[in-house]
């Protein structure tokens, strides 16, 4: 066999894909991406909820340690933020911490909120100089995705036990109070959030 024969055969061969093959390939790729994209989007939204929950739990632990270190009481107040009330140019925090007898920079350490998650807190509370909670009942915080009704079925809860201040993470089991237009940060005005509705994991 001659090398010129192979070169001539390659030149004469119509290498490439036909129009039908390209249409079938594009169609298959669009079907696959259409099936995968919603799952990927829900995974991202779930991770945002989990990430904020972890950061918030650590933030409250730091406030307790800071109160013990300086021997001061710290009040934790809820910053109310309306639905879609977080704008891209600023950081919005769900809590305002005020400690007695000193200025504190602990507010700067708070995890920032965004429009894709929401939090609901049953009450404002006080952390005493020994790191305990001054409240007649445990503090319950529910964190969820704004897209809860359209796919991300996750409601995390943090329970700050009174009076010890021990923080426990769980899953909130009641969801009939969730609307499509949840405020980003709010106080529970309907007494929905109770410790017994949080299943600890």
CATH number at residue 87: 3.55.40.10
Q: Is residue 23 situated within a structural domain?
A: yes
Look at residue 111 in the predicted model and tell me its pLDDT: 92
Look at residue 21 in the predicted model and tell me its pLDDT: 84
Instruction: Using alpha carbons, list the distances in angstroms from residue 16 to 5, 22, 39, 80.
Output: 20, 10, 34, 61
Q: Is residue 101 situated within a structural domain?
A: yes
Instruction: Specify which residues 99 forms β-bridges with.
Output: 74
Tokens for 132, please give them.
């305990």
Instruction: Specify which residues 167 forms β-bridges with.
Output: 160
Give Cβ neighbours of residue 190 (< 8 Å, ≥ 6 apart). 177
Q: Is residue 64 situated within a structural domain?
A: yes
What value, to the nearest 5°, has the Cα angle with vertex 72 and ends 71 and 76?
Answer: 140
Q: Is residue 167 situated within a structural domain?
A: yes
Look at residue 122 in the predicted model and tell me its pLDDT: 95
Tokens for 157, please give them.
């809860």
Look at residue 5 in the predicted model and tell me its pLDDT: 62
- Residue 151's pLDDT band, with cuts at 50, 70 and 90, is confident
Q: Is residue 90 situated within a structural domain?
A: yes
Task: Assess whether pLDDT exceeds 90 at residue 14.
Answer: no
pTM for the predicted model, two decimal places: 0.82
Tokens for 36, please give them.
């995968």
Q: Is residue 160 situated within a structural domain?
A: yes
- Residue 101's pLDDT band, with cuts at 50, 70 and 90, is confident
The pLDDT mean for the chain works out to 88
The span from the CA of 150 to the CA of 199, in Å, is 23
Q: Is residue 5 situated within a structural domain?
A: no
Token look-up 């005020």 returns 98
Look at residue 25 in the predicted model and tell me its pLDDT: 87
Tokens for 156, please give them.
């995390």
Q: Report how far apart the first and last C-alpha atoms of the chain are (Å, whole number).
A: 73
Look at residue 174 in the predicted model and tell me its pLDDT: 93
Q: Is residue 143 situated within a structural domain?
A: yes
- Residue 29's pLDDT band, with cuts at 50, 70 and 90, is confident
Task: Assess whether pLDDT exceeds 80 at residue 178.
Answer: yes
* Domains of the chain: total: 1
Q: Give the structural domain span for 159.
A: 19-200
């Amino acid at each position: 066999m001659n090398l010129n024969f192979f070169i001539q055969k390659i030149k004469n061969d119509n290498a490439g894909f036909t129009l039908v093959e390209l249409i079938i390939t594009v169609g298959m790729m669009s079907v696959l991406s259409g099936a995968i994209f919603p799952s990927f989007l829900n995974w991202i939204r779930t991770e945002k909820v989990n990430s904020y929950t972890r950061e918030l739990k650590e933030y409250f632990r730091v406030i307790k340690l800071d109160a013990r270190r300086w021997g001061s009481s710290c009040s934790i107040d809820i910053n109310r933020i309306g639905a879609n009330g977080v704008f891209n140019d600023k950081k919005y925090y769900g809590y305002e911490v005020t400690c007695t007898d000193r200025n504190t920079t602990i507010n700067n350490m708070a995890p920032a909120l965004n429009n894709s998650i929401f939090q609901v807190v049953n009450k404002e509370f006080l952390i005493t100089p020994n790191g305990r909670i001054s409240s007649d009942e445990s503090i319950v915080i529910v964190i969820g995705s704004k897209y809860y009704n359209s796919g991300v079925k996750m409601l995390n809860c943090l329970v700050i036990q009174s009076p010890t201040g021990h923080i426990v993470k769980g899953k909130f089991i009641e969801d009939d109070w969730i609307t499509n237009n949840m405020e980003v940060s709010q106080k529970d005005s309907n007494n929905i959030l109770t410790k017994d509705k949080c299943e600890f994991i």
